[in-house]
Structure 1
Amino acid sequence: MAGVFDNPVFPYFAFYATVVVLKTMAMSFVTAFHRITKKVFANAEDLVDKTKEKVSTHETVERVRRCHLNDLENVIPFVLVGLLYTASGPSLSSALLHFRIFTGARIFHTIAYLFALPQPSRALGFFVGVIATVSMAYNVLSAAKY
């Protein structure tokens, strides 16, 4: 098991993967904040006053939820592919470039999504992150011995 920790790329991967996972987890709290402040509840059992409030949706809550879902769709593949990529023996500079680009793209995507920046800003954040993950996957497949 010491081999993983001897890999000079692994601590950097662990750092950037943790950053994007924590950012994804934070989106749950942002969603809850908007649900509470806007009194928008997804389930009947969440209602405090069952006579006045109702289960409903709100554009802000839905925007945050879509951003969170997009994180889940991108961060999980990044972590899985990134772990394989780290084990495939990439150069430290190449690995750092991939990790930093992905992390920056996801943070930018979240800002663009939550503050409704005009397109193509959100799409740019999305595609740059996807390209970083696909590039890592290509490197893993290229290095694989089958």
Structure 2
Amino acid sequence: MATLMENEAFMAFTTYATIVILKMMLMAPMTGYFRFSRGAFSNEEDVSGKSAEEKKKLLRTHPDVERVRRCHQNDLENIIPFVVVGLLYALTEPELSTALLHFRIFAGSRICHTIAYVGALPQPSRGLSWIVGMLVTFSMAYRVLSTVLLL
């Protein structure tokens, strides 16, 4: 463990991994906020105690809620691979400046992706931010494989 604490790339990784994980975690309360503020609930138990007419009105989808929910799903599909690959990448002891570039670009791309998704910005803003994050993860995966490939 002491050796890991001396690995600057690993320490940088823990910082940026924590940032993107917290960003991902904040999407759940944001979804709840949009559900309540838009009066759009997806489950019967969310509107228990309401009259049949109120339930009918509240059990619906809303574009804002769906956009935030899909953004959260996209985070799960991209941040989890980043964390796994980024950990392996950091353990290859890459040059700190290169590691920081990878981590910063990924974190920035996910933040831009969220702003583009939730703000309903026109394409290709969301698509570009998504592809940048994916390219960073693939770049780190390439480094891992090229460093430790033992076939």
TM-score calculated relative to the size of structure 2 = 0.93
Partner of 2:8, secondary structure, is coil
Alignment partner of 2:121 out of 94, 117, 120: 117
Read off the aligned partner of 1:82 and give its amino acid letter. Answer: G
Number of residue pairs aligned between Structure 1 and Structure 2: 146
Read off the aligned partner of 2:30 and give its amino acid letter. Answer: V
CA deviation map 1:108-144 (0-9, x unaligned): 0100111111110100000000000000000000000
Runs of at least 4 residues of structure 1 off by over 2 A? Answer: none
Alignment partner of 1:53 out of 55, 58, 61: 55
Residue aligning to 1:19: 19
Q: Take 1:25 and 1:8, find their aligned partners in 2: how far apart are those partners?
A: 26
Which runs of 5 or more structure 2 residues have no equivalent in the other structure?
none
Residue aligning to 2:109: 105
Partner of 1:9, secondary structure, is helix
CA deviation map 1:44-65 (0-9, x unaligned): 1111542112322111100000
TM-score calculated relative to the size of structure 1 = 0.96
Show the 5 A alignment for 1:46-85.
46-51=46-51, 52-54=54-56, 55-85=59-89
Residue aligning to 1:32: 32
Which runs of 5 or more structure 1 residues have no equivalent in the other structure?
none
Higher helix share: 2
